[in-house]
């Protein structure tokens, strides 16, 4: 992957001077997370994108039925697979400080090594498989997912999470978004 951004002429939208739909969606973002991450400032150039991201993200968090740790494993695994250093750093911080992901699981996902928790390993494998196989997962991965205790409905929420991550991962790669200071300790080397 090149370090040259694909998007070079658009600048991050500054919340204080934002207008119209960009201001509206940044106001929503500020209420949700308490600050405007660099990713959001970039996405606000297409307010519909940021609005869709925030909406889908919030619904995954509130309605998926996954625990906070499971949610983070899905987001982190997909972001790591997609090569998004920004989201890998952000979700690593959330996994470590807020969502209760065991440290050895977090380290394994970041290093692309086997995950030492069987249920979380099946979840991560399913999330990556859905992305890698464009929604056509191998039956063995699906069966391992079900054997770990997950249900068919859970597959749909993985699709939602992967869709949300496409918005953030791809836009971050297009902008080569700088990792926020809040996530800097988890920056991918």
pLDDT in tens, 14-47: 999 999 999 999 999 999 999 999 999 999 999 9
Rg of the chain on CA atoms, in Å: 16
Q: What is the mean pLDDT of residues 97-112?
A: 97
User: pTM for this structure?
Assistant: 0.95
pLDDT given at position 4: 86
Note whether residue 27 is domain-resident. Answer: no
Reduced to 3 DSSP states, what percent helix, strand and coil does the chain have, rounded to the nearest 5?
A: 70, 0, 30
Note whether residue 109 is domain-resident. Answer: yes
Looking up residue 119, the CATH number of its domain turns out to be 1.20.1290.10
Note whether residue 113 is domain-resident. Answer: yes
Q: What is the Cα–Cα distance from 145 to 121, expressed in whole angstroms?
A: 9
Could you tell me the residue range of the domain that residue 94 belongs to?
A: 66-186
Question: pLDDT band for position 189 (50/70/90)?
Answer: confident
């Amino acid at each position: 992957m090149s370090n040259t951004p694909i998007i070079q002429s658009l600048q991050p939208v500054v919340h204080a001077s934002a207008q119209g739909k960009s201001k509206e969606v940044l106001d929503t973002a500020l209420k949700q997370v308490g600050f405007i991450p660099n990713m959001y400032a970039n996405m606000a150039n297409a307010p519909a994108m940021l609005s869709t991201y925030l909406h889908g993200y919030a619904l995954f968090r509130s309605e998926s039925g996954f625990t906070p740790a499971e949610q983070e494993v899905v987001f982190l695994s997909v972001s790591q697979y997609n090569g998004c250093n920004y989201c890998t750093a952000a979700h690593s911080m959330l996994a470590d400080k807020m969502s209760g992901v065991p440290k050895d699981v977090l380290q394994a996902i970041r290093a692309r090594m086997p995950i030492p928790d069987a249920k979380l390993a099946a979840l991560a494998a399913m999330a990556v498989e859905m992305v890698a196989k464009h929604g056509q997962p191998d039956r063995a991965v699906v069966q391992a997912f079900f054997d770990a205790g997950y249900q068919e409905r859970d597959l749909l929420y993985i699709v939602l999470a992967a869709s949300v991550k496409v918005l953030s991962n791809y836009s971050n790669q297009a902008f080569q978004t700088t990792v926020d200071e809040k996530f800097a300790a988890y920056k991918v080397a």
